[in-house]
Chains A and B, each alone.
Chain A
Amino acid sequence: MRLTIRCHGARKIRQTLLSVISLAAPFIGPALWADTSNRIPSLFAPESTPAHSIFGLSMFVLTITGGIFLVVGGLLAFAIVRFRGRDNDSSEPPQIYGSTQVELAWTVIPILIVVVLFLTTARIIFAIQDAPKPKDSLDVTVVGHQFWWEFRYPKLGIVTANELHVPVGRATWLHLLSADVDHSFWVPQLAGKTDLIPNHPNDTWIQPDRPGLYVGQCAQFCGVEHAKMLLRVYVDTPEQFAAWVKNQQQPGVQDPSVAEGRHIFETEACTNCHTITGTGARGTFGPDLTHLMSRDTLAAGATLNTRQNLYAWIESPDHMKPGVLMPAMQLSDAQIDQLVAYLNTLH
């Protein structure tokens, strides 16, 4: 079922506005400064339903406020230029104390503008916040941690971290929780942000309409490494998503050739915080590592998931991400090598 936000009479106005804006886009767009190969989480490049309707509303508001700016700013600039004093003129200008008619006019006009803005805004608030949940929507529970994201798919039996996979075209309902302090889930191209607050569960939803990778990050200061609490959302085609789900539902790979590494993992303190299904590791303080190699990044996006980075990360997490809660386990080089070899099999 496709979820859409109804736009009655305003649709026509908005389409006109959007066409005007799209003409101006080359001037206001990120292309002005940025390399186009970048991943820019721009508010002006929405790719999902709530972000679309917010974008439309924002263009409407931007047009009205822009108009006010031109009129009032223009009057001020005109007055400053027109009424500048002359050096040789020391006489006083006529004194005017006020005018009831004029003042009434510039009280009533803002009231009318506020009425229009308020009604438009209220309509979008209710459309997004009170949208009915479609029956076929995907449920994901998001848990914020210092400083990483936990994603649980309760109906699919999947637990993963930092990289959220969702299907294109279908609504995904996000249930937001926090394990410690306040965080905020924000992927600008998909939806506005919603906070993850301990003892205060929240919900939000996205319905992306184009496959791809969308980036965001925690938007509520949560401590030392708030800046490195990055967020990636992969919008998959239905086939890709089904394949991903199938892989994630498998228990951890058991490869006898890396048994030493697995032994280190199970006998050092790793298991206190991490889970790998199919082993004794059941910790929940840190990310689930069952399918670590299916993720593109490490340490909540702090670095790419390569063999060298994984080695450096295990050797000294604090060096890569100062203030991170994972300790350096004081392993020997050989032990880290074996451990990395084992983790590298966890596809």
Chain B
Amino acid sequence: MADQTLPIGGSIDVTLARPEARTALLEWLHGWVVTVDHKRLGILYIVYGIVFLLVGGVEALAIRLQLAWPDNHFLSPELYNEMFTMHGTTMVFLVGMTIVFGFANYLVPLMIGARDMAFPRLNAFSFWMTAFGGLLLYYSFIGGFGLYGMGAAPDVGWWAYAPLTAKAFSPGHATDYWALSLIVMGFGTLGTAINVIATTLSMRCKGMTLMRMPLFVWLMLVVSALTLVTITPLTAAQIMLTIDRYLGGHFFDTQAGGSAVVWMHFFWIFGHPEVYVLVLPAFGIASEVIPVFSRKAIFGYPAMVAASVGIAFVSLGVWAHHMFTVGMTSVGNTFFVLSTMLVGIPTGIKIFNWVATVWGGKIRFKTPMLFALAFVFQFLIAGLTGIMLSVAPWDWQLHNSYFVIAHFHYVLVGAIVFNIFAGIYYWYPKATGRMLSETLGKWHFWLFLIGFHITFDTMHYVGFLGMPRSIYTYEPDRGWNHLNLIISLGGLIQGIAVLIFAWNLIHSYLRGKRAGNDPWDAWTLEWSAPSPPPAYNFATDPEVHSRRPLWDLKHPEDPDWKYE
């Protein structure tokens, strides 16, 4: 039964009591496969993403082991190239995208007081497309038919620049698995994006105006719109590549007059906004976690919304800053310098607003908050190194060096993965009814933080010393030896931290403390539902009067709606 003290949503739980007896394993599995419930699909997405996080992490450790010292023979050059291609593709498409859309699936309906997504069956279809796309990619290890009939994973880099992907330079099927799996996953992603947009625009409960939506929902709306625009050119480019490889097309075939640069434009007009597709939901998680654990309302809500929409718009016009070295005109380069630097303004506003939210609060240092605070600090650095990279002449030096690797791992790990962890620690009690262990959580946080900084702070420096990316080994006389060993050790520490996290997920599921509806004393609608919420979320349609409906309930003497 729901908490009777809260007259919103969960007050009357009229869903049928679940059968107490344990159903057979097969039935249980069947239930997960045929489900169209947004919460179950959300959990499927996130579990799928965490499994591939471990796979991608093992690939990263293999890379780091190979680079720990010069002229190492742990991996062959061919296998090394497969490892970094698969690591990049996995982490972006199978980890980042799935976990982000998993959070969206689970949280958006709960946060806006809806009973499910707008199109539940499209939702299930999207998940299974994504899931099978990922399996297709990994099947290349067995079925990729490379040289000597061995399986071969894609080895052209996750950016897959033409003409290295042409039949002449990439025989076998490994590149085809890469292209086809991205097409399949792309359709899944598009389905979810349409679903999120439709849900946020048409399924909000009474009183939930757009400007009262939680920031996470706002950011998922922006991200979904951005996804619709950016996955399309990626899918188009993969189809063109496949036509080149099998039907004699010459889009990117430079030996027949095609253009390698056109591929770069297609890829980065997807690839750069893709970074924002991943990082904006992370902003959304931080914007939920930081206020609750600072015990203050988010500072400057309208500015946060405007900045998010602004970032999304500007991000569509910056893609060629990945191409400062391909020989664009000086005017072209200058344009992309300006557009890229402009991103810094809305991003700066966001950082200032998070700091101002903490300012004057009473901070509770629970694990979700630790991850979110580390995120703000690291994202500040990532933004500043981004400014450095936007300075085209300096980018001519830094491009494709380890400085770039450090910069984008600061964004993808320091911002996105940290916030994914924050989000999981924050909402795990809602999804499972159990608290994650704080002790294990703090071990996880501190080890991961230390490992992260050992690895990626050092990487900036080895980039300054001229070490390029994508190399399977390096010369011993370049002054990079000790630094690479340090980077690898940091990677190992992060690996241990992630194992602690995985153990925490399993252990707490079985033995964790009961969570109750609202363990964090939070303010958004999902905390009014039971943990875990029943299939239909809210027995009665909730009605809200401000951005923090539960604050209004808990503080009837000082409700938010007086000030908004």
Contacts and interface: CB of A to CB of B under 8 A. Distances in A.
A63 B406 CA distance: 19
Contacts of B326: 195, 197, 200, 202
A328 B383 CA distance: 50
A217 B401 CA distance: 11
Contacts of A194: 325, 327, 396
A198 B255 contact: yes
B349 interface: yes
Interface string B292-307: 0011110111110000
B161 A125 contact: no
B81 interface: yes
Contacts of B391: 57-58, 61, 117, 121
Given A107-B349, A117-B341, A129 B295 contact: no
Given A39-B478, A121-B392, A124-B393, A182 B361 contact: no
Interface stretch (B176-184, B409-417, B469-477, B527-535): B469-477
B31 interface: no
A92 B362 CA distance: 8
Contacts of B344: 110, 114
Interface in A262-303: 301
Contact of A181 (B76, B164, B387, B481): B164
B563 A80 contact: no
B466 interface: yes
Interface string A126-163: 10111000000000000000100000000000000000
B19 interface: no
Contacts of A111: 345
Interface in B336-389: 337-338, 341-342, 344-345, 348-349, 351-353, 355-356, 358-365, 373, 376-377, 380-381, 384-385, 387-388
A125 B352 contact: no
Contact of B77 (A184, A186, A198, A224): A224
Contact of A200 (B260, B299, B564): B260
A180 interface: yes
Contact of B348 (A53, A110, A184, A217): A110
A211 interface: no
Interface stretch (A18-26, A68-76, A241-249): A68-76
B257 interface: yes
A316 interface: no
A322 interface: yes
A95 B401 contact: no
Contacts of A94: 360
Interface in A190-210: 191-195, 197-200, 202-203
A38 B479 contact: yes
Interface string A164-195: 00000000000010001110101010011111
B6 to A, nearest CB: 18
A235 interface: no
Contacts of B473: 227
A237 interface: no
B303 A192 contact: no
A202 B296 CA distance: 55
A125 B474 contact: no
Interface string A68-103: 110011011101100111100101111111110011
Contacts of A85: 295, 361-364
Contact of B334 (A95, A125, A188, A218): A125
Interface residues of B, number: 99
Contacts of A301: 475
B81 A224 contact: yes
Contacts of B255: 198
Contact of A54 (B334, B396, B468): B396
Contacts of B388: 58, 61-62, 65
B377 A73 contact: yes
B258 interface: yes
Contacts of B387: 61, 65, 117
A197 B261 contact: yes
A186 B157 CA distance: 19
Contacts of B365: 84
Contacts of B156: 221
A197 to B, nearest CB: 5
A95 B296 contact: yes
B564 A192 contact: no
Contact of B330 (A44, A98, A130, A184): A130
Contacts of B260: 182, 197-200
A107 B348 CA distance: 8
Nearest to A199: B254
B558 interface: yes
A110 B349 CA distance: 9
Interface string B319-330: 000000111011
Contact of A72 (B333, B355, B373, B555): B355
B345 A221 contact: no
B206 interface: no
Contacts of A182: 161-164, 260
Nearest 10 pairs between A and B by C-beta?
A192-B396, A34-B479, A41-B466, A227-B471, A85-B362, A202-B327, A198-B254, A40-B479, A98-B300, A221-B470
8 contacts: A30-B465, A65-B387, A80-B373, A95-B297, A110-B348, A194-B325, A223-B81, A223-B169
Given A40-B479, A219-B468, A322-B76, 17 more contacts: A51-B397, A72-B380, A76-B380, A79-B359, A84-B363, A85-B295, A95-B296, A95-B558, A96-B360, A103-B349, A106-B349, A122-B337, A181-B164, A215-B478, A223-B164, A224-B77, A230-B475
Interface of B: 76-78, 81, 155-157, 161-164, 169, 254-255, 257-261, 294-297, 299-303, 325-327, 329-330, 333-334, 337-338, 341-342, 344-345, 348-349, 351-353, 355-356, 358-365, 373, 376-377, 380-381, 384-385, 387-388, 390-401, 464-466, 468-475, 477-479, 481-483, 555, 558, 560, 563-564
Interface of A: 30, 33-35, 38-44, 50-51, 53-54, 57-58, 61-62, 65, 68-69, 72-73, 75-77, 79-80, 83-86, 89, 91-99, 102-103, 106-107, 110-111, 114, 117-118, 121-122, 124-126, 128-130, 146, 176, 180-182, 184, 186, 188, 191-195, 197-200, 202-203, 215-227, 230, 301, 322-323
